[in-house]
Amino acid sequence: MIMRYTREQLSQMKGLTDWDRLEKLTDEEIEKAIAEDPDSPPIFTDEDWARATVFVPPSQRRMVTMRIDEDVITWFSQFGRGYQSRINEVLKAYVAAQTKPGR
């Protein structure tokens, strides 16, 4: 059943949230509650941040035609839209690795 209320009716309803208790929680208590909540896993782990890279959109791209093996296209495209950009990022990472000092 769908219930409809006016704005005035909603403003007169009492919510179920205990705002006084929430306002008294310390940061440590909030962090502990988050850590213990199985429905709130960390969004990013330290390992994720260690592997993170900064993405700066290119200022200019050039259209090229090249032949890429079908299995490579299939693998990249299985993750949805943007597969060509992902292929480009892999190529850029390869170029960066090859141009590091000492190579």
* Tokens matching residue 42: 């960390």
**CA distance between the termini of the chain:** 69
Asked whether residue 81 is domain-assigned, the answer is yes
pLDDT over threshold 90, residue 70: yes
Q: Distance (Å, rounded) from C-alpha 82 to C-alpha 97? A: 23
**pLDDT at residue number 81:** 92
Q: Distance (Å, rounded) from C-alpha 26 to C-alpha 34? A: 12
Asked whether residue 60 is domain-assigned, the answer is yes
Listing DSSP states for 57-86 in one string gives --S----------HHHHHHHHTT-TTHHHH
pTM: 0.42
| Residue whose entry in the numeric block shows the structure tokens 């994720």 | 48
**pLDDT at residue number 100:** 78
Asked whether residue 82 is domain-assigned, the answer is yes
Helix (H, G, I), strand (E, B) or coil at 20: helix
pLDDT tens across 36-69, in order? 898 887 788 888 889 888 887 767 888 899 999 9
pLDDT tens across 4-43, in order? 999 999 889 888 899 899 999 999 999 899 888 988 877 8
**Number of structural domains in the chain:** 1
Asked whether residue 10 is domain-assigned, the answer is no
Asked whether residue 5 is domain-assigned, the answer is no
Asked whether residue 57 is domain-assigned, the answer is yes
**pLDDT at residue number 103:** 63
pLDDT over threshold 70, residue 101: yes
Q: Is the CB of residue 34 less than 8 Å from the CB of residue 40?
A: yes
Asked whether residue 56 is domain-assigned, the answer is yes
Asked whether residue 13 is domain-assigned, the answer is no
**pLDDT at residue number 57:** 76
**pLDDT at residue number 91:** 93
Can you give the residue range of the structural domain that contains 80?
A: 18-98
Residues 6+ apart with CB under 8 A from 40: 34
